[in-house]
A and B are shown apart, each in its own frame.
Chain A
């Protein structure tokens, strides 16, 4: 009964190379995913990974070279107009006249759609009521971003595409925007969130795909992706003195040789980091207790989507540098 709201299969898009004789650049090599109604679905990856190209194909702004796309049952490539009334898009850059006021912008964008959201309600939801008569050029970065989201929602869309919506915002504004996205989802809108922020995706997304160099390298809920990391549970131990630490290091190295649940033992500053399966903490504590070596402090190392990225790509996550590498 619940067919996917958005379905992308084997999407491919290549741009002609810049300059004479330049090789064509493949922005999207092979991307597939499905978005269910009512979820916040993340497209996560470093800059230049192909995220924006993917959503621009979804919104009917670009022609894909291969693959199929269905949005609400329509093909946005063949029939972009069928999609536009039901998909709200917030693009990366601000895109309004400097001298148009917040209220005017909402009115004019609202007039394009068959059904429109109540302006007052929307202004209230986005905390813009006080700025209704202010000109766009005079808004702060956060206010512009919120107006941009309001414009994506003014046509009562079934799907909202939000592209890098917290870039350039201060931490407080980011958190406020995250709350807002959840409220949008709770109002029944399916949200497609494009981001290069790992923490944002982890905090907000019900499910997500990780894209790298134009390919999907991981897919699932943030919790399941992190849960699925193998040998990536980490425990950090601190000891009262060097003697205790070297004794513990000996014990744990020996342990790692006979216990498959303990994978690595490495010194980390004046601490020891032990990695392994989900049983690693249990094994470490038991071994130390048996030898009566008592650590001062034991901490489990928090794992994030960043570790997932490192595992699937084999390299560290650098959100900003990837573009130069790819170009």
Chain B
């Protein structure tokens, strides 16, 4: 029986023989890297809780906001930014370094000699990163609700939609950053170059609520800025549907993803 099967061409995608084993092993090995796990899973929540407890304005109610938000603590307006930060941290810091390191160490080339296509290793890690993002976002949301008393999203479906699109846009950008880098360090440098401006326009340092108009306008056209703005609109539910932000995120994905896949070097 097995002898007959050997003549059948191997398949790509999750149907490839051994994909389950590959995924499980990659997840297990990924969890052994404390720095990657910390930045992907814990860092956003830690930053949010730390700032929420340390900055006095963050615990006072937002008295000038429309009801019912006038009773919510100030940190509420910062939560969407932190969710965007969680997406950006994985997409621009941990993921490109991972992928470039696979190339640097010859892991992609090594897999190319086996029946398992190296595309599946990248696929497995995209899934692992999505799982990490779900964990880190849930931790930030639940942590801020329990510890800081932040109310839940007014429009959870919009938040979910914007989160999915933010992930696809930012992961596409991360894939492009990793596409050509010969070394993990190169990808890390390039990722950082994009990471810090992205954080600035998504309100990490200057909160969205007090951001000057020109910055907000630039932010709208950047993937992480659009993500933070869209998440804010969905969380508060007072400004309708964030159509412009959703279109921007779709646009970035449509441009960046095929480019990242096309340029990606597998050896």
Residues of A within 8 A of B (CB): 59-61, 79, 81-82, 84-87, 89, 91, 93-97, 99-100, 104, 107-115, 155
Contact = CB atoms under 8 A, between A and B. Distances in A.
Nearest to A93: B106
A87 B107 CA distance: 17
Contacts of A100: 25, 29
A103 B114 CA distance: 18
B114 A84 contact: yes
Given A61-B267, A114-B2, A91 B105 contact: no
Interface string B13-25: 0001110111001
B106 A111 contact: no
Given A61-B112, A99-B33, A115-B2, 16 more contacts: A60-B112, A61-B113, A79-B9, A84-B10, A84-B113, A91-B106, A91-B109, A93-B105, A96-B105, A96-B107, A99-B29, A99-B32, A100-B29, A113-B115, A114-B2, A155-B114
A139 to B, nearest CB: 14
Nearest to A80: B112
Contacts of A115: 2, 6
B234 to A, nearest CB: 38
A165 to B, nearest CB: 14
13 contacts: A81-B10, A93-B105, A95-B107, A97-B29, A99-B33, A107-B21, A108-B22, A109-B114, A112-B114, A113-B17, A113-B18, A114-B6, A155-B115
Given A81-B10, A89-B113, A93-B106, A111 B17 contact: yes
Nearest to B24: A108
A107 B21 CA distance: 8
Interface in B27-68: 28-29, 32-33
Q: Which of A59, A94, A110, A113 has the most CB of B within 10 A?
A: A113
B9 A82 contact: yes
Contacts of B10: 81, 84-85
B108 to A, nearest CB: 9
B29 A112 contact: no
| Most chain B beta carbons < 10 A, residue from A79, A84, A86, A87 | A84
Nearest to A111: B18
Given A85-B6, A85-B10, A108 B115 contact: no
B9 A81 contact: yes
B95 interface: no
Contacts of A79: 9
B239 interface: no
A81 B22 CA distance: 18
A109 B110 CA distance: 10
Interface in B96-117: 105-107, 109-110, 112-116
Nearest to A115: B2
Contacts of B5: 114
A236 B132 CA distance: 73
B122 to A, nearest CB: 14
Given A81-B9, A82-B9, A84-B10, A112 B115 contact: yes
Contacts of A155: 114-115
A91 B2 contact: no
A108 B6 CA distance: 18
Contact of A95 (B18, B22, B109): B109
A94 B17 contact: no
B106 A95 contact: yes
Nearest to B106: A95
Nearest to A79: B9
A82 B7 CA distance: 7
A147 B20 CA distance: 22
B109 A61 contact: yes
Contacts of B33: 99
Nearest to A104: B25
